[in-house]
């Protein structure tokens, strides 16, 4: 599925098994802490190692969503919110910022020599689904989901 097919989704389709929500300052440090917390909670909740492919995907996706909230979605003195949801078959990362007027642009390939503007390409590459939701006039949420590995019997 593409971003455009998913932008209307308002909530995760399954009830969360575990959930954590925290606020971070809209700074580079806040984005870094959000990424580290996302990976820590992922490994704690799933029991998967920190260096597993799903944990790396969570780290990259959380880093991009948080840094985009800081760079493109912040207003002076306003924090961003990170919500982590462990669903039965996936891990969902939600980042809510204070700029609903600045929606993520469509994802398009970038030339190899460009040094910025690839964050959503990374999210699209490492997340199984992602999108954005605007619920009110003050905030927007950009979310992404990483599927959990299935255990074979």
Q: What are the sequence ranges of the domains in the chain?
A: 3-147
Tell me if the domain spanning 3-147 has CATH number 2.60.40.10.
no
Cβ count within 10 A of residue 146: 24
Res 106: pLDDT = 60
Q: What pTM was estimated for this model as a whole? A: 0.80
What is the C-alpha to C-alpha distance for residues 22 and 93, in angstroms, rounded to an integer? 12
**16, containing H or E segment:** none
Res 100: pLDDT = 61
Residue range 73-91: mean pLDDT, rounded: 86
CA dihedral 27, 33, 36, 39 (to 10 degrees): -90
């Amino acid at each position: 599925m593409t971003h455009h097919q998913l932008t209307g989704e308002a909530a995760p389709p399954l009830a969360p098994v575990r959930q954590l929500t925290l606020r971070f300052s809209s700074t580079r440090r806040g984005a870094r802490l959000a990424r580290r917390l996302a990976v820590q909670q992922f490994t704690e909740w799933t029991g998967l190692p920190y260096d597993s492919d799903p944990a790396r995907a969570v780290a990259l996706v959380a880093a991009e969503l948080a840094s985009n909230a800081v760079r493109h979605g912040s207003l002076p003195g306003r924090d961003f919110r990170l919500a982590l949801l462990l669903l039965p078959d996936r891990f969902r990362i939600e980042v809510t910022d204070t700029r609903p007027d600045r929606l993520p642009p469509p994802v398009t390939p970038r030339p190899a020599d460009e040094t910025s503007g690839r964050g959503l390409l990374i999210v699209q590459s490492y997340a199984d689904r992602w999108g954005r939701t605007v619920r009110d006039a003050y905030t927007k949420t950009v979310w992404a989901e990483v599927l959990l590995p299935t255990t074979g019997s």
